[in-house]
Structure 1
């Protein structure tokens, strides 16, 4: 998404994480995971690090704000989403029983923080997509998925009654022209989530 916003041409290589390629292990031997940005033969890893590298390397619309305080706040929210929200929402969707209840409480608390951060804003970055919006990309995709497969997640984690600002942000975000052009195929994304849910249920039995 960041490369698209900057107008940078790139080659996208998909990885099978169940059968990691030699290149993945070569370019990210520490974490052995994606994403990896390979630029001039040199690898940059970790999502938020990559986003800042892209912003500093190429001209075009800025991903981070110009003011130091605003930049610090953008980094704070992006880190919260990357390290806390994704984990809590994942456990809320894929766990069961008491663990799921605790994860739901944590996810709701974190989503409430994000809901309040969006008051008076179209995007987390203001009027344009920025670092925090890209970090929160998965929230938009998860919300779309669970709206379509609502019978899987009861009650749904994000609703218009509980989180109207987040729901409005999801709508604005996925309907942004650059985002719309790069939304993962619905069927493919749905199958990934369904496989995760089925695997979690099987592990719990």
Structure 2
């Protein structure tokens, strides 16, 4: 078990990748200190602790080297404290399958939302929204496979893919409202729609899901520092 003050998390409350780590810390009842990072003017702590990517989150655990990249961090936490709410499956082939879909979410699915934000033309936006919905349908099929008719990707309770995709729920809803479409709906992805409601109301995740004001402030910062492409 981690001692009080032993674990620190560098990040910002609006980052889904930081939220992902917070999910796991909460699920495992690990106390930690949160260090707020200003991404508009990156701190020396961030630049020195993650000199390769210069990105959040970064986890500090006692006197060990900083641990970077959200998926790396949550697997580290799962190995560090395996007896409390195991995140990854115990069977190797199941772990591999979970990692495959995590890679899909991070590198194929969620980047479409950033592409949507940066794309100016209505017609082009509609094309990206179509891709997002197609991706959501694929995730609905994955949910059916992993959940085996239960409430979560992990079965009866949150597992690896619940954490990996669940950290994006607030941003998915925020983007859907701004762009007037529904990424998870009752017709094409009814199971994911219900799953998203469960994620939002899960006791361990309530404090780690950013609210609309937090999301809007971060969105406005992105608009300034990573503006949409010109028409």
Report whether the alignment pairs 1:54 with 2:77. Answer: yes
Moved more, 54-63 or 102-111: 102-111
Q: Any residues of structure 2 matched to 1:6-17 within 5 Å, and which?
A: 6-17=28-39
Q: Distance in 2 between matches of 1:198 and 1:161?
A: 36
Long gaps (5+) in structure 2:
1-22
Residue 109 of structure 1 deviates from its aligned partner by 2.4
Who is 1:95 aligned against? 119
The one of the two structures with greater contact order (alpha-carbon pairs below 8 A, sep at least 6) is 2
Long gaps (5+) in structure 1:
none
Q: Distance in 2 between matches of 1:38 and 1:198?
A: 30
Q: TM-score, normalised by structure 1?
A: 0.87
CA RMSD of aligned residues (A): 2.3
The answer (yes or no) to whether the contact 2:167–2:209 under 8 Å persists in 1 is: no
Who is 1:111 aligned against? 136
The answer (yes or no) to whether the contact 2:113–2:175 under 8 Å persists in 1 is: no
Residue 161 of structure 1 deviates from its aligned partner by 2.3
The answer (yes or no) to whether the contact 2:117–2:228 under 8 Å persists in 1 is: no
Who is 1:35 aligned against? 57
SS of 1:204 mapped into structure 2: coil
Who is 2:99 aligned against? 75
SS of 2:204 mapped into structure 1: helix
Residue 142 of structure 1 deviates from its aligned partner by 2.2
CA change 1:69–1:62 in 2 (3 A) is same
Q: TM-score, normalised by structure 2?
A: 0.78
CA change 1:199–1:20 in 2 (3 A) is closer
Q: Distance in 2 between matches of 1:171 and 1:197?
A: 29
The answer (yes or no) to whether the contact 1:92–1:107 under 8 Å persists in 2 is: no
The answer (yes or no) to whether the contact 1:64–1:130 under 8 Å persists in 2 is: yes
Q: Distance in 2 between matches of 1:153 and 1:166?
A: 19
Q: Distance in 2 between matches of 1:160 and 1:142?
A: 19
CA change 1:94–1:167 in 2 (3 A) is farther
